[in-house]
Structure 1
Amino acid sequence: MVRIAILALGLCLTIFPAGCLIASEPEDTQDVEQAPEKQAINRTSERLLPDCKVLHGAPNTVINLREVFKGTSVDTGEPLELSVVHNTKSKIADTSFDGEQLILEWKKEGSTEITVRALNPVTQVMVDARFTGTVWQPDYLSLGLTVVGGLGIFLLGMKNMSEGLQAIAGSGLRRMISKVTDNRLMAVGVGTLVTMLVQSSSITTVMVVGFVNSGFMNLAQAIGVIMGANIGTTITGWILALKIGVYGLPMLGLGAFGYLFPRRESVRFAALAIMGLGMVFFGLELMKDGFAMVKDLPDFEAWFARFDAHSYLGVLKCAAVGCILTFIVQSSSATLGITISLATIGVIPFETAAALVLGENIGTTITAWLASFGATTNARRAAYFHVLFNLIGVAWITAIFPWYIEMIDGMFNLPFIRSLAGVEGKVGEAIDMTVRIAAVHTCFNLVNTIVFFPFAGLLGKLLERIVPQKAHKEKPHLTRLDIRMLDTPVMGIEQSRVEVLRMADGCKKMMLWLAELSQQNGEPDRRLTQKLFHREEVLDTIQDEIVGFLSDLLAANLPHDVIDEGRRQLRMADEFESISDYIASILKFQIKLNDQGHVMNDKMRQQLKHLHDTVAGYMQMVIDACIQRNSAVITKANTMRGEIKHLVRTLRKEHLQQMTDEKIEPYVNVAFTSALNSYVRVSDHTLNVAESLAGIK
């Protein structure tokens, strides 16, 4: 049996020589060509060829295999024997040779794995080069949906992060706004901090235009805040420069749980800010994935290649594209995110991205410019300053653009800057693209502010020439409470507060005019009378707008302090409107009495003057407390309210005694007692304002 087995084995070895046994290929690799019959003494497999990805319908790809295998173990200068030993799907890519060139004929969509073998016939050494060939068809719908979806999540994340930060900052943010003075340096600081919290220079500048329009802020203050807003908006780029993109989705999930389940408001809004930050990075990753397809599309690549920032005209073209894109989407943060996505995946070079960022600074000015329509002259000047600030800045930066880019690159070669950027290594090592773009944005606005700061006063005078004062006397007025403020409730509640304080100022002026009219003999001054009645109508309109604005604002998901402030303002607006009604009624009693041919005697007029001055002083005290947010005024307000009630009781007793001593016309008696009652009502509503300020329901 052993002999038979040995004989059988010898027969097999005779028929199938050793080394010539070839393993059978799988059924899906039937297109494999046979390897050379000569036995190689050494065979290696290397990734010498990059994966090849082409569009469907692309021409044949020709690969010079002599260059591919140059420097490998088979390269001795002798001609090589070349073959394709593995091609999983020849229906996708057919292979052929033209001398030492491999020709790939692309057919249908899909992917195939190809292995090219080179054999040195002298040394019998083999080297296999493996690569993947892919034929693809662009899915434009998927591209568009991915980019739009990513942009939507990015913008929603910015909104949520802004709301969370505003809720955390709360009253501190409102105090910052009220502390703006004529000191431009302080105004720049406030503008920077506020914009960093609300994550939008557009919101800050719209707010500034509204404050100037209402008379709460002058042009000098507005100029400082607007310069600071341009610096503050650059924080978005540095947030995106944080290397936490892969953690965007986990942050979103953890933030959502932290927002939905805890009961503590501070925890909920901190979680909302974290959730917003996660959405920002998740949206940015989605945009990158969507734009990744663009890099492989020749038409898109050729279109983007036309925006080359290596010439002055090219810089201007790129800046114009950035400006128009920001103008369309109304958000410089969104266009910055798009720019960073395109630059990070290599669709556009750094210089093009930098020029786009410069143009985005101009595009963001459109929001404040639109808000200035129908506003006062100073409000329009503030909006135009925002436009000029960015236009002039972009003009001189683009003029020195190559040197500006060199300055940015040179800055990142400084050791301490490189350590801050998280780059440890030799000078010249690549800096993260997002960090470089963020630096371009920040340096532009910082340098521009430094250049403009000493000349802000002169620029203000220039704006006075460009936007001259109207011929008639112009007073601050309410055109509308900007609905865009509803997206930033902390800012919106401050804008409505300004309008409530304007109502308070209107009531104070009506008291002054009433005092002047009450001391006039005969028919009161018609112009001043119409002025007082017109102011009462204006206060009615302001109250209606405040109620509508706050009703929409309070319908949103807001922190308790903003809700409480909104309710206080609603009550105050109602109280000041009622005060204006009673002031107007006192004047109506006087006019009616005069039309009937009667007048009060000197004693009555002096008594009413004393009461008027007392009530006016009481009102002034409460209004000052509202401006200063001094809730402790309630104690003194209650005391003075008691004094006024005591004074009115005294005046009534004196009036009754006077009626027994002398004859008083019934019309005069009615006018006097009605005036006393109206002053009492004015003091009652003033006390209600003090109670609202103190949080007493």
Structure 2
Amino acid sequence: MDFGLFGSFIGGIGLFLLGMRMMTDGLKLAAGPALRHILGQWTRTPLRGIFAGVLITSMVQSSSAVTVATIGFVNAGLLSLVQSVGVIYGANVGTTTTSWLVAIVGFKINVQALALPFIGIGAALRLTGTHSRRAAVGDALVGFGLFFLGVDVLKSAFEGLGQRVPLAELGGGGIDTVLIFVGIGFLLTLLMQSSSASIALILTATMGGMVPLTAAAAAVIGANVGTTSTAALAVIGATSSAKRVAAAHVLFNILVAIAALLILPLMLTAVDATAHILALEDSPAITLALFHTASKLLGVALLWPLTPRLVTFLSRRFRTAEEELGKPRYLDKNVLATPTLAIDAVALELARIGGMARDMAQMTLTAERTAPANLMTSDKLAIASLVEAVGQFAVQMQRTTLPAEFDESLPDALRVARYYTSVADLADNAAQMQERMSVLQDEPLISEITFFRADALKLLQAADPQAAGYDSAAADRMLAAMEDAYQSLKAHLLRAGSEGRLRTEQMVELLDFYSRIRRLLQQAVKGARYLHRLLDLAAATRQKKEEPTPAEEPAAEQPASEDKAA
């Protein structure tokens, strides 16, 4: 191989990869506020999300960058899964603008006459606007110029290599050749981490006569699949929601690849006919740009009607431990039509929430230093999710025709949810405080605190409304005794601080910690009291429903004496 041609080939790739990187980074910085505004405000529906995705990708010239930004927004809770799916569709369509730029600008005008002024103006903006948006615009202009200089260098290199490297003969023609070029396109994007750059390379090779049109179209399909690697890398260690967005991006491009490969000859024929109808120039670059756009639009057309099912499918995947724990076990919209079953479901779900909240409190009280942070966090998130589900279920119950006793019980249900949410919050907060607390050395205080914690654990066990022998009055008496114990502990802590047996900071830490434990116990006892009423109401209603009506009861047998009298 001529080393001059090889050098041009390597240099051309380097120029347009460097140009693509500078152009994308510069445009992202220059359009940063606009990008955030569009993602935040223009994506309220999937259709608007598509237009937002097309616009943003056209602005920053990188579907991978938009996909990663979308994953970040979903990770931060600023976009829902439904909104993000629309953006993913649009980003994939928007990435085809690079193909059109290369096809129209790269091969139709004097590239150096266009690129060199852009580089000069961009460099001037960069030098005079350090740390400002003007510098970002300058980088984008320099990148634009370098990119098209690279295209021009590659075009010349490919024209020289076209006759020497018979790529068209790879695989011997037919389906083998198509699959090989799909793999080539995939590897190009995987290595360059930019489908726009790899497609620009494919277009340039095709215009240089190095790759036939059908093989180039197959390489474009492979490049589209290769862009999924960026999204896959971006979600390592991310939230489950971010993983679902990445999965939507992967599924979209795989579906596009399968559909386009199955009808590749038909698509190329349709693209050629469309180009003639639109009076576009008959050139391989224009045909490939049109094919690239058509394949993405085909993917949107296929997936758009299936978007609700896709969102449902993805929502059930990549579930974290807290999401599984926070999934309602008893609430089911099918029981709303039967008030007895509905109130029973609410009571049982609240009992489950209460058990989780008490477990958090027990974990805090039994830990010598600190409860496991991951368990506390997952339980707290799960309780918050379940409480929200109970609230929504209660609202749906109120829209039905409820018996008077059930209608009056719904405020109690929401009160129970609030009490147990408070228990979970206080337990989590106390656990975090305990992690920072100094080790206590005073033996009399250690002994009193040990007894206080043991009594607090007994009270938590007594505050279980589902336990056999639960007695709300007994729990109230134990709570009153705990109040006396707390006041005694508080007095001993204050005395130890005043006598110098405790540092002031340590005394304040302990007072704050046990104040939260006291409040936690109060909330647990109150929640148990109201939950017990709900459980009793549900049980009484079930029993009443199961009792036979008078018409169903068998007639009582008359005594023998009465039979004789008769």
Q: Shorter-chain-normalised TM-score: which range?
A: 0.5 to 0.7
Distance 1:530 1:455, change over 3 A: farther
C-alpha displacement of 1:286: 0.9
Partner Cα separation in structure 1 for residue 436 and residue 205 of structure 2: 69
Partner of 1:674: 508
Check whether the contact 1:536–1:581 (CA below 8 A) recurs between aligned residues.
no
Query: What do residues 10-69 of structure 1 show as CA deviations (whole Å, max 9, x unaligned)?
Result: xxxxxxxxxxxxxxxxxxxxxxxxxxxxxxxxxxxxxxxxxxxxxxxxxxxxxxxxxxxx
C-alpha displacement of 1:283: 0.6
Amino acid of the structure 2 residue aligned with 1:193: L
Partner of 1:155: 17
Check whether the contact 1:321–1:356 (CA below 8 A) recurs between aligned residues.
yes
Which range is displaced more, 215-224 or 330-339?
215-224
Task: Identify the match of residue 188 of structure 2 among 325, 347, 367.
Answer: 325
Amino acid of the structure 1 residue aligned with 2:275: F
Check whether the contact 2:40–2:78 (CA below 8 A) recurs between aligned residues.
no
Partner of 2:520: none
1:369 aligns with 2:232: yes
Check whether the contact 2:100–2:289 (CA below 8 A) recurs between aligned residues.
yes
Partner Cα separation in structure 2 for residue 320 and residue 370 of structure 1: 20
Partner of 1:273: 140
1:194 aligns with 2:62: no
Q: What are the within-5 Å matches in structure 2 for residues 120-139 of structure 1?
A: 138-139=1-2
Query: What do residues 327-349 of structure 1 show as CA deviations (whole Å, max 9, x unaligned)?
Result: 23322122112111111122223
Check whether the contact 1:227–1:449 (CA below 8 A) recurs between aligned residues.
yes
C-alpha displacement of 1:284: 0.5
Partner of 1:627: none
Query: What do residues 621-657 of structure 1 show as CA deviations (whole Å, max 9, x unaligned)?
Result: xxxxxxxxxxxxxxxxxxxxxxxxxxxxxxxxxxxxx
Partner of 2:251: 388
Partner of 2:207: 344
Partner of 1:442: 293
1:255 aligns with 2:122: yes
Distance 1:587 1:322, change over 3 A: closer
> TM-score w.r.t. structure 1 length?
0.47
Task: Identify the match of residue 150 of structure 2 among 283, 297, 310.
Answer: 283
Q: Secondary structure at the match of 1:296?
A: coil
Task: Identify the match of residue 65 of structure 2 among 200, 203, 212.
Answer: 203
Check whether the contact 2:53–2:86 (CA below 8 A) recurs between aligned residues.
yes
Check whether the contact 1:154–1:283 (CA below 8 A) recurs between aligned residues.
yes
Which range is displaced more, 456-465 or 220-229?
456-465
Distance 1:591 1:339, change over 3 A: same
Q: What are the within-5 Å matches in structure 2 for residues 81-480 of structure 1?
A: 138-139=1-2, 141-179=3-41, 183-213=45-75, 217-240=79-102, 241-242=104-105, 243-244=108-109, 245-246=111-112, 247-261=114-128, 265-297=132-164, 300-301=165-166, 303-306=167-170, 311-414=174-277, 417-418=278-279, 421=280, 430-463=281-314, 467=317, 469=319, 473=323
C-alpha displacement of 1:583: 9.4
Check whether the contact 2:363–2:371 (CA below 8 A) recurs between aligned residues.
no
Amino acid of the structure 1 residue aligned with 2:214: E
Amino acid of the structure 1 residue aligned with 2:508: S
Identity over the aligned pairs, expressed in percent? 30
Structure possessing the higher relative contact order (Cα contacts under 8 Å, 6 or more residues apart): 2
C-alpha displacement of 1:357: 0.8
Check whether the contact 2:53–2:94 (CA below 8 A) recurs between aligned residues.
yes
Query: What do residues 512-557 of structure 1 show as CA deviations (whole Å, max 9, x unaligned)?
Result: xxxx99xx8x99644799458669999xxxxxxxxxxxxxxxxxxx
Query: What do residues 298-357 of structure 1 show as CA deviations (whole Å, max 9, x unaligned)?
Result: xx12x3333687x45543333232123322332212211211111112222333222211
Amino acid of the structure 2 residue aligned with 1:306: L
Distance 1:258 1:209, change over 3 A: closer
Q: What are the within-5 Å matches in structure 2 for residues 17-56 of structure 1?
A: none
Distance 1:251 1:364, change over 3 A: same
Distance 1:263 1:432, change over 3 A: same
Identify unmatched segments of 5+ residues in structure 1.
1-137, 422-429, 477-515, 539-579, 600-657, 680-697
Q: CA RMSD for the aligned pairs?
A: 4.4
Query: What do residues 458-480 of structure 1 show as CA deviations (whole Å, max 9, x unaligned)?
Result: 22344467x4646675699xxxx
C-alpha displacement of 1:386: 2.1
Q: Secondary structure at the match of 2:276?
A: coil
Query: What do residues 478-512 of structure 1 show as CA deviations (whole Å, max 9, x unaligned)?
Result: xxxxxxxxxxxxxxxxxxxxxxxxxxxxxxxxxxx
Check whether the contact 1:589–1:671 (CA below 8 A) recurs between aligned residues.
no
Distance 1:258 1:180, change over 3 A: closer
Check whether the contact 2:43–2:49 (CA below 8 A) recurs between aligned residues.
yes
Partner Cα separation in structure 2 for residue 528 and residue 598 of structure 1: 12
Partner Cα separation in structure 2 for residue 406 and residue 262 of structure 1: 50
More helix by share: 2
Check whether the contact 1:308–1:352 (CA below 8 A) recurs between aligned residues.
no
C-alpha displacement of 1:371: 3.3
Identify unmatched segments of 5+ residues in structure 2.
327-356, 379-427, 451-486, 499-503, 514-566
Query: What do residues 429-485 of structure 1 show as CA deviations (whole Å, max 9, x unaligned)?
Result: x434333222211121122112201202222344467x4646675699xxxxxxxxx
Check whether the contact 2:494–2:507 (CA below 8 A) recurs between aligned residues.
no
Distance 1:356 1:188, change over 3 A: same
Partner of 1:9: none
Distance 1:265 1:201, change over 3 A: same
C-alpha displacement of 1:278: 0.8
